[in-house]
Amino acid sequence: MRRGEIFGLRWQDVNFETQIVSIRQTLQRYKQKGYQIREVPKTTGSRRSVAIAHSVVQLLKKIKKQQAKNWSQWGSAYDDWDLVFAREDGRPMDMNNMTNEFATLIKQLDLSHFRFHDLRHSHASLLLQQGEHPKVISERPGHSFITITMNAYSHLIPNMQQKAAQKLDDFLSNHMLDTNKNPLSH
């Protein structure tokens, strides 16, 4: 997800039962107006539904529970934007502060040259390396076309080409030499 999509994610777009989040809007910061929800995402592919892991669902439930406590503590001063990631008073988090905090954490972990946005790339790279279908990978970050994904991550493909060649060789060795298993001999 893009930074604005993460910080613009609303509870109404999180389904705990199906483990799906729907990306329908982004949070944007304007100099004059401050933070606003932008109902039209970056591209047509940006409007999407993304499956989330059980561990993420559990984390989101904890966040929701904490927000309920915050709401009761702040009372009528709580400014409910329905945001998943909000300040204690319900207002949007400052995206720049979060990005800076992330950079500080990365520096402490001695992981130089890793930006918040790189989480998006790492997510797609890891899925591609694990053999996930490129179409699924392109849908998760909201790429409009699969070619965008493949062009962005083509540097991973040479290693994958070797694995594919070996898989084909293994299949042919195990199935094509045995006439009972050979699909071409029937």
pLDDT, tens digit, 9 for 90 and up, residues 15-72 = 999 999 999 998 988 888 888 888 866 666 678 899 999 999 999 999 999 999 999 9
pTM: 0.74
Flag whether pLDDT at 98 surpasses 70. yes
pLDDT for residue 178 = 61
**Domain-ending residue, one of 77, 100, 115:** 115
pLDDT for residue 128 = 83
Residues 70 and 128 in one domain: no
pLDDT per residue as tens digits for the range 133-171: 888 888 887 777 788 877 777 676 667 778 888 888 888
**Domain-ending residue, one of 72, 100, 115:** 115
pLDDT for residue 142 = 79
* Under 8 Å between Cβ of 148 and 138: yes
Flag whether pLDDT at 185 surpasses 70. no
Query: 79: domain CATH number?
Result: 1.10.443.10
- For residue 71, with 0-12 CB atoms within 10 Å meaning exposed, 13-18 middle and 19 or more buried, which class applies? middle
Neighbours of 92 (CB within 10 A): 20
pLDDT for residue 10 = 96
Residues 82 and 124 in one domain: no
- Give the residue ranges of DSSP H helices in 75-156: 95-108, 118-129, 134-139, 146-153
Least confident of 72-76, 81-85, 161-165: 161-165
Which residue did the predictor score with more confidence, 111 or 182? 111
Helix or strand holding residue 26 (H, E) = strand 26-30
Number of structural domains the chain divides into: 2
**Domain-ending residue, one of 64, 94, 115:** 115
pLDDT for residue 135 = 85
Residues 16 and 107 in one domain: yes
Residues 110 and 121 in one domain: no
Flag whether pLDDT at 179 surpasses 60. no
Residues 108 and 125 in one domain: no
Residues 139 and 157 in one domain: yes
- For residue 125, the enclosing domain spans 117-186
Residues 11 and 91 in one domain: yes
Residues 20 and 34 in one domain: yes
pLDDT for residue 186 = 54
Task: Tell me the C-alpha distance between 11 and 82, whole Å.
Answer: 6
Residues 122 and 90 in one domain: no
pLDDT for residue 177 = 64
Residues 80 and 137 in one domain: no
Residues 59 and 138 in one domain: no
* Under 8 Å between Cβ of 63 and 84: yes
- Backbone conformation region of residue 29, classed left if phi is above 0, alpha if psi is from -120 to 50, else beta: beta
pLDDT for residue 78 = 96
Q: Which residues contact 185 (CB under 8 A, 6 or more apart)?
A: 179
Residues 27 and 98 in one domain: yes
